[in-house]
Chains A and B, each alone.
Chain A
Amino acid sequence: ETGVTQSPTHLIKTRGQQVTLRCSSQSGHNTVSWYQQALGQGPQFIFQYYREEENGRGNFPPRFSGLQFPNYSSELNVNALELDDSALYLCASSLPGRRYEQYFGPGTRLTVT
């Protein structure tokens, strides 16, 4: 069984640019949640996708947006990058009916310079 995978592993962008991060959910999982983890802190909830629609959002501005595809994979898009967006971005997937039980991927390390 394949776990949650994310790409790319690392990414360096310049302030003001846009970035797209990708996530493939674990087999059989239909819900994807995205988190931002700043250095030395716990993950912070960005949003969740279920049935290709946003299903809840944390305290993040609209320049953070996402998509979920029919195969349950997902993208996180961040526009107008700021230095504070530098973080580890984590994707987690969940089984149908158990979206609270989340399994994380390895993350994408984004550095904004």
Chain B
Amino acid sequence: GENVEQHPSTLSVQEGDSAVIKCTYSDSASNYFPWYKQELGKGPQLIIDIRSNVGEKKDQRIAVTLNKTAKHFSLHITETQPEDSAVYFCAATNYNNNDMRFGAGTRLTVKP
């Protein structure tokens, strides 16, 4: 089955700096890669996703990149703000699969 690894486990940046979180996956059949943001006491919130037929996707300050050959995908947050502080999870699955596999999470802290 799919195995997703996520790095780093913690990340601290200064407000205004960029943050990058990286994930690798093992199953070449995976074709959907969402990113979730989880704030304290809340459920994961879908913030952006990318499909295997696309190499990059951007939504305002957030971008995701996918390297299918290397089985890597990354989340990039630019101009970070204190409200970006949360735990971020990457995940991988196949459109026809029910089992979405999550990484272990990255705790991002943005210092004002």
Residues of A within 8 A of B (CB): 4, 6, 33, 40-45, 47-48, 55-56, 58, 90, 99-107
Q: Is the Cβ of A42 less than 8 Å from the Cβ of B89?
A: yes
- 27 A-B pairs with C-beta separation under 8 A: A4-B43, A6-B43, A33-B100, A40-B104, A40-B105, A41-B104, A42-B4, A42-B6, A42-B91, A42-B103, A43-B89, A48-B98, A56-B97, A56-B99, A90-B43, A100-B93, A100-B95, A100-B97, A100-B100, A101-B46, A101-B49, A102-B100, A103-B46, A104-B46, A106-B41, A106-B42, A107-B42
CB closest residue in chain A, given B105: A42
- Expressed in whole angstroms, the minimum distance between the Cβ of A98 and any Cβ of chain B is 9
**Cross-chain contact of B44 among A40, A55, A101, A104 (Cβ < 8 A):** A104
Q: Which of B14-70 contact A (CB under 8 A)?
A: 32, 34, 36, 41-46, 49
Contact indicator A41/B105 (Cβ below 8 Å):
yes
Residues of A within 8 A of B89 (CB): 42-43
Is B102 a contact of A104 with CB atoms below 8 Å?
no
Evaluate contact between A100 and B32: CB separation under 8 angstroms: yes
Chain A residues with Cβ under 8 A from B91's Cβ?
Answer: 42
C-alpha spacing A113/B16, complex, angstroms:
44
Residues in B neighbouring A105, C-beta threshold 8 A? 43
Query: How far does the Cβ of B47 sit from chain A's closest Cβ, in whole Å?
Result: 12
Size category of the B interface is 20 to 34
B residues near A101, Cβ cutoff 8 Å: 32, 34, 46, 49
Give chain B residues whose Cβ lies under 8 Å from the Cβ of A40.
104-105
- Measured between beta carbons, the chain B residues less than 8 angstroms from A48 are 98
User: With A101-B49, A104-B36 as given contacts, are A43 and B44 in contact (CB-CB < 8 Å)?
Assistant: yes
A63 to chain B, nearest CB (A): 19
Cβ–Cβ contact B102 & A43, under 8 A: yes
B residues with a Cβ closer than 8 A to A are: 4, 6, 32, 34, 36, 41-46, 49, 89, 91, 93-95, 97-105
Residues of chain A contacted by B6 (CB below 8 angstroms): 42
Other A-B contacts than A42-B4, A56-B97, 7 sampled, CB-CB below 8 A, are: A4-B43, A44-B102, A55-B98, A56-B99, A58-B99, A101-B46, A104-B36
